Amino acid sequence: MDLLYKKPAKAYYPEILELILKATKPYENMLAFSGHHTMDRLRSNPMRRKYRVLIYNDKIVGFASWKIRAGGLAWLSQFYIDPICQRKGFGQKFLKKIEQEACLLSEYMVLEYWPEAPWAKNFFYKNGYKTMPEIFKSKSTYTKVICKKIGRGR
C-alpha cells in the first residue's frame, strides 16, 4: 500500500470537503452536528488546526485536523476516511502517522466521539484509546472523550 501523508495545499480543499461530506453522512442526524463543514470554514481554519491528508493512488482517502491545546494535549478534532476505503487498513495507518507527528509535541492524544456512533468508538478503542479522566474529563453532555498515551511530549 503506497500511501502519502502530508499537509494539504489549498488546492486540495475542494476534494477534502467532498471527502468530509461523504464520510459524515452517518452523522447527519446527530445533535449539533450539521453545518460544521463548509469551504469557508475549511479555508479560514478558525481553530488554527494542523490539517493532514492521506493520499492513495493520487486520491485523498483521509483527512484529519488536530492541534496542541492548553496543557500540551494533542487534540484530534477531525478524522475522516473515504467510506469506500474503510475497513481496509487506511484508518489505522493514517492514525498512526498523526500520532507519530503529534508525539513530538504531546504525551497524549485526546479526541471526542459521539456515543450514537459505536463504529467510531470501536475503531479508536481498537487502536488503544480509552477513557482517562485523570488526563481529560469531558464536560460535554453529548460526546465522550477518550485518550491515548502517544509519547513523552515536551
Spatial CA neighbour of 32 closest among 109, 112, 124: 112
- Residue extents of the structural domains in the chain: 3-149
**Mean pLDDT across the chain, nearest whole number?**
89
Give me the CATH code for the 3-149 domain, please.
Answer: 3.40.630.30
pTM of the predicted protein model: 0.90
In this model, does residue 36 exceed pLDDT 90?
no
Mean pLDDT of 35-55: 88
The H-or-E segment that residue 40 falls in is: helix 39-44
pLDDT of residue 27: 72
Residue 57 sits at the vertex; the CA angle it makes with 56 and 62, to the nearest 5 degrees, is 25
Query: Which percentage of the chain shows pLDDT scores above 70?
Result: 92
Residue 99 parent element (H or E) = helix 90-102
Mean pLDDT of 88-114: 95
- Which pLDDT does position 116 carry in this prediction? 80
Residue bearing the bigger pLDDT, 5 or 27: 5
- Whether the per-residue pLDDT at 113 is higher than 80: the answer is yes
- Any idea which residue has 452536528 for its cell? 33
Q: How many helices (H) and strands (E) does the chain have?
A: 4, 6
- Helix or strand or coil: residue 47? coil
pLDDT at res. 153 = 54
User: CB burial class (10 A; 0-12, 13-18, 19+) of residue 75?
Assistant: buried
Hey, what's the cell of 41?
470554514
Q: Could you tell me which residues come within 8 angstroms of residue 145 by beta carbon, excluding any fewer than 6 positions away?
A: 110, 111, 112, 131, 136, 137, 138
Which of 34-38, 112-116, 147-151 has the largest mean confidence? 147-151
